[in-house]
Every structure is written in C-alpha cells, then in structure tokens.
Chain A
Amino acid sequence: MSEITGMPVDRVDARLKVTGAATYSAEYYPKNLTYGVLVTSTIPKGRIKNINSSQAERLKGVVGIMTYKNSPTLHFPQSSDPGGGKFGEKDLLPLQNDRIFYDGQIVAVVMADTFEVAEHAASLVKMEYEVDQPVFDLEKNISQSYKPASSLGGGAAQESRGDADANFQNAAAKLNETYTTPVYHHNAMEPHATVAEWTGDKLMVYDATQSVAGSKNLLSSMLGVPAEKVKLISLYIGGGFGSKGFSWPNTVLAAMAAKVVNRPVKLVLRRQQMFTTAGRRSQTIQKISLGADNTGKLNAIKHDTTSESSFVDEFVETAGVATSMLYSSPNVEVSHSLVRLNKGTPCPMRAPGEAPGTYALEVAMDELAIQLKMDPIQLRLVNYADMEEQKKKQFSSKNLKECYQRGADAIGWSERKAEPGTNRDGNYMVGYGMATATYPANRSASSAKATIYADGNAEILCATQDIGTGTYTIMTQAAADAFGLPIEKVTVKLGDSDYPKGANSGGSQVTASVGPAIRAAALGAVNKLTKMAIADVNSPLHGRKEEEIMAGNGRIYLKDNPDKGEDYIRLLSRNNMQKVEALAKTNVSTRQQQESNPAAAGSADAKAEEESKTNAAVQEDEKTDRKPYAFHSFGAQFVKVLVDPQLGTVKVDRAVAVMDIGKVMNLKTAKNQIMGGMVFGIGMALMEETAYDPNNGRVVTRDLAQYLVPVNADIPKFEVQFIDKPDTIISPIGARGIGEIGITGITAAINNAIYNATGKRVRDLPVTPDKLI
C-alpha cells in the first residue's frame, strides 16, 4: 500500500465547513443562554471615576452588569508560555480595579437574554473617567526604550559574535539604513468567541483558541478552579494568525460573567474590539548596517530593532531573530529594545519577528547588492551559511541553494534588467525582486491516544487544534499510514482538553510535534494487535516474531509472505475485544526552554508518558541526538511587479515560492499554507496598517473597511514549489511546520521588485500610491 502522507488529499472537514455543519465556538447554544456584550474604555489612560449603569439595568431582559465593583476576584496566571497558557496582559487582570492602561480596555460586561438587548444596554452604560496623559508614540518616546532580558519563551533578545561595529567601520562597502513597519492586526475571519457554562463547580467552555490546553489551564489558574473541573472545547477555529495564541480577557470574562448571572454566557468580540484588546503586531523601527568586502562577503551585520510593548505585559517583536543565522559572517550584532506605550499588549502574529525582520534584512541585502553591482542572488550565495554560526550547530537539513535556483528559473530571473526603471510595458514599469524566506522548525512535547475498533475503524484523540491550517487532514493521513488503514477508516479528533495534550498552534510547531506522537500512538495500537495475534493459537501469525510482521490495508501479515496474515476485524472479534488502545507521548523539544507549566498536561498525559516507555516508535524517536543540530526551514521568494509610476499603484503580477520545509505532508494543504502566507505578505508590503490618532493614541482604523487586507484582485497567480526532502533529524515523519514561512521574505521581494521597476526605494511600509508618485 502506498503512503497516504504527502498526497494532495482534500480536507477531511471541507464538507462540514462549506455546508456550515462545522461548529465554531460562537455556535453553541446551551439551555438558558445569556449574551454578554463588552463596554470598552474610550480613553487610553486614566481611572474610572464613576459608572452609571442605571439606565441599562432598567432595560427588560438585562440580567447582569459586571464591572470592577462586583466582578469575581481573579488569581495571577500560573503560566507564561503559550503551550501551558499565556495571558496577554498579566499585570491587568480584567475588571479587578479602576485603572485604564489603554484605549479599548474592557470596563464592563452586560449580560442579557438576547444579544440585541445586551448590545443596546451596553451602549447605555455611562463611564466617567479621570483622564491621564498617555504615552502612545513609539518614535517620539524612543528615548524611553529599554533592552528586554529575553523574548517570549525565554528566547534571546540580544545576540552577538565578533565585533560588528569595528568591522562595519572598516568595510569596503557599507549599507546603513532604517526600515519601519507599522502596527498590523491579525484580522482572522472568526472573532474571538467564548461560551461558558457552570454546572455546580464544574466549568464547560467553548473557546476560539490556538491553545486548547493553555486556555483551559489559564481558566483554571485565574479562576482558582482545579484543572480537572474545567473542560474546554475548540473543534473548529476560523483563523488565528497568533491573535488566539495568547488568551485575552474575553475568555475568562465569559466564565466570570456566567458565574455572576448563574447562567451560560456567550461572549463574542466585535471586529472593532479585536483592534484593541486581542493583540497586534508591534510597530518596528529597524536599523540595519551591512559591511562587505568588494566580493560581497559580509564582514559585519548589525540589526537593531525598537518595538513597542504595553504597561501591562512585555512582548518583544524579535525582528532580528533570523539575522544571526541567515548569512555567514564572523561579526554580528542583533539587539532589541522596547518602549512601553498606552496600548494593549502586542503578541505574535504570523512569523513574529521573522516577518518584519526578513523584510528589513532582505531589502538591505538588495540595497547592498545594488551598491556592489552584484546580482542579488549572487550576494546571497557568496554569504551562504553552511552552518548555524551563532549557535555553532549543523542544520538538520538545508537546501536553500536549490530554492534560489528553482525560483529564479520559475520567475524568469534572466528577464530582470539590472538597471532599475528601464523595463517599460505601456503605462507600467516592470520589476523583478527576490528574497530569502526562513522560519525555525519548532517541535515540542506532545501526546496522543490511538484506538483501533473491532469494526475496522480507528481513531486518534489529541488536545491540539486545527486553526484552519489543515491539521485534521494531515494528521488523518499520518495516522492512516501508521494504522495501516485507508484514510476513510480513520477519524482524528482534536480540540478537546480532555484528550492527551498536544502542542499549541504557534511557532509552526503542530505538524512536527503532534505528528510523531500520533504516529507513535497508532503504531503502538498496531503493535498491541501484533502481540495479540502472536499469542493467539488461532491466528495465522501465531508464534511469529514481531519483526516479521507488518501492517497495511487493515491487516497484519508476514513481510515475506503477505498472504499469511489476517485483518484487524477478525483478530479483534475472535479475541472478544471491542478495541485496542495505545497512548504515546514524545518529549522531544527543539526549543531553548521547556514549558513553564508542564502540569497543564493533565492525567491522560502522565499515563501516555508511562506507556511510551515501551513504545518502540517513541523510544526510537527520542534516541536521536539532536543537540548538534539547528532546525530551520528555508525558502526563496520571487515576484514580478507592474508599477504605474504616474498613479503609484503596484500590481503583483506573479509570485513564486520555493520552500524547503522537510517532507510535505499534503501537497494541497501545504500549498494553501504557503499561498496564505504570501497573501499576508502582499498585504504587509502594499496596504496593511493600523492607524492611531496622533493626538490621543486611540485606534482610528478598526474594521475591515478601514484596515485593508488583500482582496482577490490583488492576488496574482502563485507558483509554490517544495524541495520535499524529509528532515530525518527533527522527527521520524520528517516534516517541519509551514504556517509562517510563507509570509517571510515575500514583503522584501515585492519591495525589491518595486525598486527594480522604478528606482524608488520605500523603506517605510506599506508601499502605498502616495509614496510612489
């Protein structure tokens, strides 16, 4: 039987989604449901002086109004890692006091019998504020910046080797520029949504989250309820892009509100609220210095980033994180600074760090190539990093040169004119640009449960989640191969906190983390069948050795003589077994630090750990020595643009991505993922930007009419290719995650193509018509 993994299988949940049968978090209607609507601050800093809710209270149908004056007391969150649960504003537990730290901060929740009454009542809650002078402008307050000790998950915020300063001064060719990116918002189609219901001291929550285990764990620790009393369901998520990776106040507020009114509460953020209280990508100011000799060899690389954080938590946009490893150079200095502002806390957004960072670095590389009169690809080849020079490790697998070559061939790089502004086509100037894409290959501990039933079907349970990426589909493929079953016999169930804990959807890690655990669990279940057959005097495999036997097409059989064997159904029914089950947990982690709260995993996880001691697949996986290796994915992005220099409009005419992401689990969903990232990159390059009022720092653009994301008419024909060489070091399945790499490099490639077309270099994103005319 040929492998199902890798095939362009249609999404297993496609029919459910297109028919509306997939249930998203806001679509649960427990009996006696009430609707919660938020009241948010209209000042960026100050105190609540007075709350007048009498008019709202009098409305028929209003069942409760929760403010800091009557809300249940919360406890400090006992975790700071998205896997175990990361609350987005740890120093501002919601509705605990009268202080306001940012525009749009939640100041009340109104609960009513209907959504309409709740909405109306919320508009009648009158807040009086004592207004303080806010700090909101990153550039104007840059003198207040400080250097954070570390970034999310304990990553390095400052890195260096050699002496970048001195070598930059002495370099033959120097490039020293500042690149800026504005604030971006994730704008997932599905808003943050929670339905919470208490039954006695037990809490049931439906929540749109990228971390089923983490969100549950935070509810437990913040509400002071034992973990085993909290159950969280998140079966389908309409996109997250990082905005649902942290937990924001809305989730815990739904549970608090349900407690206050003693009825289930549904709380869904309005689009406008998603712009203030559910994270964003920080604005960045990035200074890059590149020093090279006449052959282009980089003697010095400096990348200094200033980004913003809030007064209620700390988040670093690690734009320089890829700079220390992307190119070979003995002298590198990467630094990050933060300025605290009266805004909500920023958070990861698709390729946090790498997306703005590769924009700046890869535009700088283009500028240096032009200065040196070199082909931009050649400059990258001259500085090709054969090893991870900052950590002094080998790459587990790297085929970037092939990406450059195939990308150049596909776009027709030879058509590019080196002299900018010389390729005209009617009203348009034609330009070509390229850039390197990169993202770390993360893997963390995950567990799963596998069951083979006597009717020949099999099932996987894992408390990870599919945020729209195709996780259900690729895990069904991986499980089917391990079970030795056709794909239609396998059901993968995710998004339930009672299942064994899987990875959170962040850092492109689910595929590489959960895949091996699911595989090991399924192989463990098959192994139990094998042992059963060997012990069964009525089995044709009786008395055989395990290593003589293999599985496929719903049978176990002799490798040497496939006719000799039997199917799972016959074996299980003859042994009067309804099913066999196996738990597996793989502890492999490529991350620098372990999770801050592994206890979030729960009891199923402990059993999985115990059972894995005798699981051959887990043992084999964990035996691999990964210490000498660095794990990264790479790729090359190429674009052709048409610029109307008179009107300043840019049309991305073609875009090619060649990605080296290990084994491709499903060609169709993999292409989807990369294309999605490229669409994000087009938005970032050409139109996306959240505007703030220059006088008080409040958000001005708060909906999808004001915050522009690309529409179909902005999207060219994409061509996505994969190297598809399995990374045998990272895991037995050989795949690295691909949720984020698609957005890296593309923004720079577009920017570089615009320069090639027009001779104009725009260093402040987005490149809108006003900057090109």
Chain B
Amino acid sequence: MEPFKFTRANDQHSAISSMGGNGVKVIAGGTNLIDLMKLDIEKPSQLVDINNLKLQTIETLPNGGMRIGALVKNSDLAYHPDVITKYLVLSEALLSGASPQLRNMATVGGNLLQRTRCPYFYNEGFPCNKKNPGSGCSAIDGYNRNNAILGTSAQCIATHPSDMCVAMAALGAVIHVQGIKGTRAIPFNEFHLLPGNTPHRENTLRQDELIIAVELPPISYAGRSHYLKVRDRSSYEFALASAAVALNFDNGRIKEARVAFGGIGTKPWRAILAEKVLTGAIASEQTYRTAAEAALSEAKSYKHNAFKIELAKRTLVRALTTVGGMS
C-alpha cells in the first residue's frame, strides 16, 4: 500500500470541493477500496472520508417511489420494510451479496462503484487493461471460468460483480450525483460503461462528482419480484449467473416485465430483449424459455465459461417461474 493523505468531509460541499484533484478518492464503507489499496491496485493520493455526510436516509416518495441516500448501508436497505414490500427483488439481491459483516459496512454508493473480481485484475504481474490500460487482457486466453459472456470486448471480459446493481438495473433506478457544476440524474443503464477500448473507465461519474442518492421509480408490481443467484457455494460468493425479475400479470398474460442479469455481463445487464418477449405473452414455461433464448442470443463465451450461457437461461426461467407462481 502506498502512503496517502486522509481527510474527512463534514458536508457535501466540502467533500465535492476536495475531490477535484488527481488521485483523490472518496471512502465510505471501504469494503472494496481498502482491499484494492492493500494490493496496490488502487493507489489514491488522498482519501476523503464522507461518512459524516447526511446521506443515510431512506425515504418513500409521494409518487410511490423511493429515494435512498448514498451512504445507506446495504443491510439497512435490504431490511427496510418498504423495500421488502415494494421492491422485493432489491432486498433479495442485497442479501445474496457478500456476508452480514460486509453488508453492515458497505454502502449503496460504494456498491455502484464496486470493481470487478476478475482474478487477473487482482494478480500482480499479469497484463490487465483495467489495471494498466494498454497492457492487454490475460483473461481472454487465460482462466476465464468466472468471466463475462455479454458486453465483452477484445480488451476486457471482466464481470461486474454487484448483486444490488442487477436489481436496480431491472427496476430502472436513477442515480443522483452532485459535482462542482451542479447535479445530474443518470438513468441506471447510462451509469456503467461497457469495456470497449477503455475498460479502465467503468462509469460516467466525473472526478468531481459525488453520488448523492439512488431513486427507485414507482413500479406497482415490483413487490412481485425475485432475485435468483446461482453460485459455487451457498453464501459469500459472487454469481456464476443471477437474474432479477419483476412481472405484472393480467389474467394469465404478462402485461409488463423487468429482467436483468448478474454474473454474466461486463455491467449490470438489463435484458430488454427478454422483456420484449415477455410483454404481452401468456405466462408459461415456453414463454420463459423463449425470453431466455432471446436474452442470451448475443452471448459470446470463452474457453472455460461456455456453461454460463445455458446456466443463465435456466436461472432466468427459474426466476420467472418463481415469480409466476407468486400470489
């Protein structure tokens, strides 16, 4: 770990004004950042502790949606009664991630910025375009069992590891940020970036911008939702494939559908193609399977992760079946 300066901000304004410089990073829960610093992958010159900022509230909005402060702990959000009732998929996604100790520390804002678990990103001495732009990707021809099959590029096939983000992608959350020049509201799908030729750029947040809150739009049927995560062990492990699903039924027909994948995409993967198949279709296993086929139609696998294509399809079918069976 390299030496760094540590400061504490007591309000949004002082936080944002100290963030502009090169190498300045914000620390909240620190559950990912500190690990990466210990491994010399993140080398901030300064850490700005924002835990004193008043961003810990969860509000239910007049329109029925919710606004979640960036510093809300993952566990507080998961166990919030309105989240459980209105956005079950988000609660389930949060609780499927990490361990209780980590969820008690990790924040919503930090979770959005979580970095990949590609082993080559963590391993010194291996080329990695995320870590050292232009050095190459060791995973494409290397050990890539846990790598992505959607959204990959010739420069990077690293998976986005978050569970929370998958549910938020399905729900179409909006990320509110504040910078020196003012505030922005970023639709979830425009927040994370595909790797393309710049895999080290992972989101559209600017250096001086601070995540303030995440807003969940009102979705009348999102209580009838589910997050299913398939992994190599029963807990405390990232997804091989996961699916976030919400369905609005009308007399045996699917009126609206929200679908997103985790564990298989280079970003939290909203499956618009699957949603199109589901919308207006009769709820049946056949429909679910067709939706899954559509969702994975553009998947590209590598030497060790071809199984993820079929596993992701089955994960989605199971998640849809589960929601379809909910009363």
A-to-B contact residues, CB < 8 Å = 42-43, 116, 119-120, 123, 427, 646-649, 651, 686-687, 691-695, 698-703, 705-706, 708, 710-714, 768-770, 773
Contacts and interface: CB of A to CB of B under 8 A. Distances in A.
25 contacts: A42-B124, A119-B1, A120-B1, A120-B2, A123-B2, A647-B311, A651-B234, A686-B232, A687-B233, A694-B142, A695-B138, A695-B142, A698-B126, A700-B142, A701-B119, A702-B122, A705-B117, A708-B233, A711-B233, A711-B234, A714-B233, A714-B235, A769-B230, A769-B232, A769-B240
A710 B232 CA distance: 10
Interface in B106-149: 117, 119-120, 122-126, 138, 141-143, 145
B124 to A, nearest CB: 6
B307 A773 contact: yes
Contact of A706 (B119, B124, B126, B141): B119
B318 A770 contact: no
A543 to B, nearest CB: 68
Nearest to A104: B125
Contact of A773 (B3, B138, B233, B311): B311
A278 to B, nearest CB: 17
Interface string B283-327: 000000000000000000001000110110011011000000000
B143 A647 contact: no
Contact of B232 (A427, A699, A703, A768): A768
Contact of B142 (A116, A693, A769): A693
Contact of B120 (A649, A692, A700, A770): A700
Contacts of B1: 116, 119-120
A647 B315 contact: yes
A13 to B, nearest CB: 25
B250 interface: no
B234 A713 contact: yes
Given A116-B3, A710-B233, 9 more contacts: A120-B3, A695-B141, A700-B120, A701-B119, A702-B119, A706-B117, A711-B234, A714-B235, A773-B307
B125 A42 contact: yes
Contacts of B303: 694
| Closest 4 pairs (CB-CB, A-B) | A42-B125, A713-B234, A770-B307, A713-B235
Contacts of B233: 686-687, 708, 710-711, 713-714
Given A646-B314, A705-B117, A769-B240, A123 B235 contact: no
A699 B120 CA distance: 10
A694 B126 CA distance: 13
Contacts of B59: none
Q: Determine chain B's interface SS by DSSP, over half rule.
A: loop
B6 interface: no
B256 interface: no
Contacts of A693: 126, 138, 142-143
Interface in B37-71: 40
Contacts of A694: 141-143, 303
A722 B143 CA distance: 43
Interface residues of B, number: 34
B291 to A, nearest CB: 16
A691 B143 contact: yes
Contacts of A647: 230, 311, 314-315, 318
B310 A773 contact: yes
Contact of A698 (B125, B234, B235): B125
Contact of A687 (B119, B122, B232): B232
Nearest to A704: B236
A703 B122 CA distance: 10
Interface of B: 1-3, 40, 117, 119-120, 122-126, 138, 141-143, 145, 230, 232-237, 240, 303, 307-308, 310-311, 314-315, 317-318
A700 B314 contact: no
Contact of A649 (B119, B230, B307): B230
B228 to A, nearest CB: 8
A105 B145 CA distance: 26
A747 to B, nearest CB: 16
A769 B125 CA distance: 31
Contacts of A687: 232-233
Contacts of A768: 232
Contacts of B117: 705-706
B143 A773 contact: no
Contact of A648 (B40, B123, B230, B317): B230
A754 to B, nearest CB: 15
A679 B233 CA distance: 13
Contact of B311 (A705, A712, A769): A769
Contacts of A773: 307, 310-311, 314
Contacts of A691: 119, 143, 145
A759 B265 CA distance: 32
Contact of B236 (A43, A120, A699, A711): A711
Contacts of A713: 233-236
A702 B123 contact: yes
Nearest to A124: B2
Nearest to A123: B40
- Residue among B123, B237, B240 having the largest count of chain A Cβ atoms under 10 Å: B123
B149 to A, nearest CB: 13
Nearest to B40: A123
Nearest to B238: A705
Contacts of B310: 773
Contacts of A710: 233
B119 A700 contact: yes
Nearest to A42: B125
Nearest to B240: A769
A708 B117 CA distance: 14
Nearest to B310: A773
A699 B125 CA distance: 11
A714 B232 CA distance: 10
Contacts of A119: 1
Contacts of B235: 711-714
B8 to A, nearest CB: 20
A739 B193 CA distance: 51
Contacts of A42: 124-125
A429 to B, nearest CB: 15
Nearest to B314: A646
A687 B142 CA distance: 20
A369 to B, nearest CB: 29
A703 B237 CA distance: 13
A648 B122 CA distance: 28
Contacts of A769: 230, 232, 240, 307, 311
A149 B233 CA distance: 40
Contacts of A123: 2, 40
B126 to A, nearest CB: 7
B232 A708 contact: yes
B112 to A, nearest CB: 20
A708 B233 CA distance: 8
Contacts of A711: 233-237
Contacts of B308: 770
Nearest to B315: A647
A185 to B, nearest CB: 14
Contacts of A705: 117
Contacts of B40: 123
B159 to A, nearest CB: 13
B121 to A, nearest CB: 11
A99 to B, nearest CB: 18
Nearest to A702: B123
A658 to B, nearest CB: 26
Contacts of A120: 1-3
A60 B324 CA distance: 65
A647 B232 CA distance: 11
Contacts of B142: 693-695, 700
A705 B230 CA distance: 16
A702 B317 CA distance: 34
Nearest to B99: A711
Contacts of B143: 691-694, 700
B318 A646 contact: yes
B148 to A, nearest CB: 15
